[in-house]
Structure 1
Amino acid sequence: MNRLLTLLLAACLGTAAVAAPPPDTAASGPTPYPGDAKDWPGQGAIRVFGWMTDNRKAFWTERERKQGAVVFAGDSLIGGWRTMAKDFPDLNVANRGIGGEPTRGLLFRFQEDVLDLHPKAIVLLSGSNDLSAQQDPKQSRANLAAMLDQAAKAAPGVPIVLCTVPPRQDPKAPVDPARVRELNRQIASLAEGRKNVVVLDLHALLAGPDGNPVPELFGADRLHISAAGFERFRDALAPVLKQLNVG
């Protein structure tokens, strides 16, 4: 297990669902992360840190209470939304963001942490850590597509808001803006042919005319979203959820 906690691998690069029975309670906790890259689903970078296991254990304790929630899934850009419940007071929301996680990690836990909640809707924002890992955007697209396919099978018609990746300008994790744009083109293309998937262009919401992060909408690292940024996110997302009859 200690080796697993320090694992940092880079592998080769309708209608809403009706009420459903609670998840299987036979298991006592989340499925452990695989110790071998070949046992992971998806493509690209793999990262496992101790806090990820801790987060998933905490999520597990809320499985019953969060049945039928609007599930927000992703990395720290979701996990850092501390005011989510306050910002959506009329919704049962479940924050299932884990910091540092690439799309492949979310794909691994997507069934247990998202679909097993029988979500009323899903808000999906993932891919920024793939950029940090210099991953091919096509691999990120494949992982996100696999999640959408899982959702289509497990909960046909459940509304999904698929978010583009925000702009970033972190000197400690530099990424060519062209790669961000390419990833977002790949993300937006996933809505084609999926009637229940709506794209929210978070990049456009949080970027200035030059395409760079609007300073007040981000933390000092120009990577993580600030309180003001989450307010803007909320203001754009709320009418989308209403349009999808999520309420």
Structure 2
Amino acid sequence: IVLLGNSITDAWPRADSAFFASKRYEYVGRGIGGQTSPQMLVRFRQDVLDLHPVAVAILAGINDIAENTGPYDQQATLNNVKSMTELAQANGIRVILCSVLPAYDFPWRKGREPAPKVMALNALIKAYAAQKHVTYLDYHSAMADSRQGLPPALAKDEVHPTLAGYRIMGPLLEQAVATALKKK
């Protein structure tokens, strides 16, 4: 199972090595800090297709919203997620589309007010997942506080999960993988 993403994906094995040692599924982390969805799409062949996984979990969008590589365009981000989904499906790889994690603010780009943008993008990703009959993994609902951000116990910097945050994500991922593997 390839986990495609950004710094949230990249840091997970270091933060919660016990989860990755459990070996219920073999997870291959392909997270690169700061990356946006177009950058993930560019590396999709080498980081996903060339590994021939049974499934890929795609976590993309937070750095798009943070405007790490230019102005945020919701439709462009969704289109990149769609392209990655189509590439995976064309290669017989089951797809898990992950919600963007909650974010109330970005420590590296203050005042962007990401929470409503995250919720809007998640709604589009969820609808697309339903349309394409792929598994939608909703991290957001399980982790959001009343501000629609990550509470301090789950992320000290508003964006990157703590061990407690990853411990919420782990069982949700396992459940999503089990669901995805049951799909034809």
If the TM-score is normalised by the length of the shorter chain, which range does it land in?
0.7 to 0.9
Alignment RMSD, CA only? Answer: 1.7
Aligned with residue 86 of structure 1, among 2, 5, 18: 18
Larger Rg computed on CA atoms: 1
Deviation (angstroms), 1:154: 1.5
Give the residue type in structure 2 aligned to 1:167. Answer: P
Deviations 1:49-82 (A, max 9, x none): xxxxxxxxxxxxxxxxxxxxx1000111111112
Structure 1 stretches of 4+ moved >6 Å? none
Matched-pair contact (CA < 8 Å) for 1:138–1:186: no
Say how many residue pairs are matched. Answer: 173
Matched-pair contact (CA < 8 Å) for 1:164–1:199: yes
- Which residues of 2 match residues 141-180 of structure 1 at below 5 A? 141-155=78-92, 158-168=93-103, 169-174=105-110, 175-176=112-113, 177-180=115-118
Where does residue 177 of structure 2 map in the other structure?
A: 241
Aligned with residue 119 of structure 2, among 174, 181, 204: 181
Aligned with residue 72 of structure 2, among 127, 135, 157: 135
Give the residue type in structure 2 aligned to 1:202. Answer: Y
CA–CA distance in structure 2, aligned partners of residues 171 and 243 of structure 1: 35
Structure in which a larger fraction of residues adopt helix: 2
Deviations 1:78-122 (A, max 9, x none): 111125663142222100000011000000010111111111111
Give the residue type in structure 2 aligned to 1:208. Answer: D
Aligned with residue 76 of structure 1, among 1, 4, 7: 7
Matched-pair contact (CA < 8 Å) for 1:137–1:186: no
Greater Cα shift, 233-242 or 93-102: 233-242
- Shift of the 245–154 alpha-carbon distance from structure 1 to 2, 3 Å rule, reads closer
In structure 1, stretches of 5+ residues that fail to align are 1-69
Equivalent pairs: percent with the same residue? 29
CA–CA distance in structure 1, aligned partners of residues 66 and 157 of structure 2: 14
CA–CA distance in structure 1, aligned partners of residues 39 and 136 of structure 2: 21
In structure 2, stretches of 5+ residues that fail to align are none
Query: Structure 1 residue 107 and structure 2 residue 41: aligned?
Result: yes
CA–CA distance in structure 2, aligned partners of residues 122 and 217 of structure 1: 24
- Shift of the 223–126 alpha-carbon distance from structure 1 to 2, 3 Å rule, reads same
Give the residue type in structure 2 aligned to 1:173. Answer: R
